[in-house]
Amino acid sequence: MKTDDGIYLSFHEAALYNYSGMTLLVDKDNLKWTSCLVGGPNSYKVKVQTPFTTPWRTIQIADKPGDLIESKLIVNLNEPNKLENTDWIKPMKYDGIWWEMHLGKSSWDMAGKHHGATTENAKRYIDFAAANNIQGMLVEGWNTGWELWWGPERETCFDFVTPYADYDIEEVIRYGKEKGVALIAHHETASGVEQYERQLDTAFQYLENLGIHAVKTGYVGTIFPKGNYHHGQYMVNHYQHVVEVAAKHQVMVDAHEPIKDTGIRRTWPNFMSREGLRGQEFEAWSSDKNPPEHLVIVPFTRMLAGPIDYTPGIFNIKFNEYKKDNQVNTTLAKQLALYVTIYGPLQMVADLPEHYDNHPALQFIRDVAVDWEESHVLNAEIGDYLTIVRKERGGDRWFLGSITDENPREFSIPVDFLPEGKTYEATIYADGPDAHWDKNPTSYIIENKQIKKGDTLELKLAPGGGTAISFKPLE
């Protein structure tokens, strides 16, 4: 929030273990907020044995909104890493069999018109990943049970070790290894938590045996057992149990429909990323789509808690061949900028491979890093605009992302983040002169220029638009 006198505040919590998540109860009559725990099926909200430790309650206070993004308070209130070996924990970009189901091109279940998770289709995505510096490939709809999703069997429908007959998982893994692309597994539970708990050890042993080191979990729908909520004590403990079992089998976790991040990734670094917001999938199937200002609000709300799996990179902005009433409410250049403005160490290249064919703007996605050594907010106003520059970990390249709401913006950006004495080639992916998030979202231009410390960048962002820049040092 922003106070009347220009002070920026964030209220959150850190190190949430064996407790219910905290919300804020608004008392409009007395003009105050009170901490309020998420409840459950019982008369109590938290059941613990003494002695016990509550999560940290945090208030972050800043003069500038970007200071909230740069703060390390939440993660540093957690205990240090507990894992002895972290060599298998690797940030990466990934593509996958996912967006095509949201568009309706294919189905999650084999009983559907066109099953997406076939061996042949998986190899197609692996080929695209291998050709474009994408290290991972996600497959949803690979395991039996999807056809029972909305029936009375939803609570127990999924089997996490049995592929559909048209998906040869061992052949997909072999092919991926040959091409240098790692398979990311998928565990959609349909919120049948007890069913998942019963299979948990077997499911993660199965992944370890196959050499799979990453899984996307999902908890769509009302939690079973009934009366529990995603942010109550029961589920806080469940999510933590999953992460610890995953760590035992050397598997990274990307959780969808998760408990909010409270910095636990410092202690359990295999908890790589989470959804926990209206992600880009909403654009494909919701009539209440994310407005252009959504992505300049999210960095100051959900992203203050931790990494996001937002699934950027949609180039086919108006997907009329699939759903005429839906679209992504950004320009193409803004989709590129999201790889910098939204932090996610598992970062998806979300569109269909055919929508990237021979597309010059794909080069930014090939180049952009996902693991950062430095991050600096250059300008920001909550709900209006945001510009971030980041330096890749273990390298000399920098990347800049600038995004706006429904209003056009012009920024003069002093280049004071680059080191002295080095000249960089800046490749600028900008909105075209006639770009507009709704009227002309795919208009973009690419420009190359040499940049050094002390120069100034002039950015022009279209309504709902953005700019993405890669800086590569010249020898």
- Residue 128 sits in the same domain as residue 26: no
- Residue 245 sits in the same domain as residue 344: yes
CA angle 438, 442, 447 (to 5 degrees): 130
Whether residue 2 lies inside any domain: the answer is no
- Confidence grade of residue 67 (pLDDT, cut at 50, 70, 90): very high
- Residue 230 sits in the same domain as residue 344: yes
**Segment 347-379, tens digit of pLDDT:** 999 999 999 999 999 999 999 999 999 999 999
| Final residue of a structural domain among 304, 333, 368 | 368
Handedness of CA 155, 160, 161, 167 (dihedral sign): positive
- Residue 250 sits in the same domain as residue 354: yes
Whether residue 81 lies inside any domain: the answer is no
- Residue 230 sits in the same domain as residue 337: yes
Residues 388, 377 contacting (CB under 8 angstroms): yes
- Residue 119 sits in the same domain as residue 224: yes
223-235 average pLDDT score: 97
Give all strands (DSSP E) within 15-169, no chain letters: 22-27, 32-37, 56-62, 92-97, 136-139
- What is the pLDDT at residue 287? 84
- What is the pLDDT at residue 288? 86
The neighbour count for residue 247, using CB atoms within 10 Å, is 22
Residues 404, 451 contacting (CB under 8 angstroms): no
Q: Which CATH number do you get for residue 425?
A: 2.60.40.1180
- Residue 212 sits in the same domain as residue 292: yes
Residue numbers of the domain that contains 438 = 376-473
Q: Which CATH number do you get for residue 155?
A: 3.20.20.70
| Final residue of a structural domain among 76, 108, 132 | 76
Whether residue 270 lies inside any domain: the answer is yes
- Residue 228 sits in the same domain as residue 166: yes
pLDDT at 194 over 90: yes
Place of tokens 């390390």: 72
pLDDT at 475 over 90: no
- φ/ψ of 60, rounded to 5, equals -105, 135
pLDDT at 448 over 90: yes
pLDDT at 418 over 90: yes
- Residue 420 sits in the same domain as residue 349: no
- Confidence grade of residue 429 (pLDDT, cut at 50, 70, 90): very high
Specify whether 281 is catalytic.
yes
Long-range contacts of 295-298 (CB under 8 A, 24+ apart): 295/330, 295/334, 295/338, 295/341, 295/342, 295/403, 296/381, 296/382, 296/383, 296/384, 296/385, 296/386, 296/403, 296/404, 296/405, 297/382, 297/383, 298/342
Whether residue 291 lies inside any domain: the answer is yes
Strand partners, 387: 379, 402
Whether residue 246 lies inside any domain: the answer is yes
Q: How many domains does the chain have?
A: 3
How much is the mean pLDDT over the chain? 97
Whether residue 192 lies inside any domain: the answer is yes
Q: What is the rounded distance in angstroms from the CA atom of residue 214 to the CA atom of residue 79? A: 23
- Residue 311 sits in the same domain as residue 226: yes
Whether residue 1 lies inside any domain: the answer is no
pLDDT at 150 over 90: no
232 burial (CB, 10 Å; 0-12 / 13-18 / 19+) is buried
| Final residue of a structural domain among 349, 368, 387 | 368
Q: Is 47 left (phi over 0), alpha (psi -120 to 50) or beta?
A: beta
- Residue 191 sits in the same domain as residue 337: yes
Residues 210, 170 contacting (CB under 8 angstroms): yes
Catalytic residue (one of 257, 281, 283, 392): 281
- Residue 139 sits in the same domain as residue 253: yes
- Confidence grade of residue 112 (pLDDT, cut at 50, 70, 90): confident
DSSP, residue by residue, 197-229: HHHHHHHHHHHHHHT--EEEEE--SS-BSTT--
Q: What is the rounded distance in angstroms from the CA atom of residue 239 to the CA atom of residue 233? A: 10
**Segment 253-272, tens digit of pLDDT:** 999 999 999 999 999 999 99
Whether residue 22 lies inside any domain: the answer is yes
Pick from 338, 259, 225, 291: nearest CA to 38: 259
- What is the pLDDT at residue 113? 83
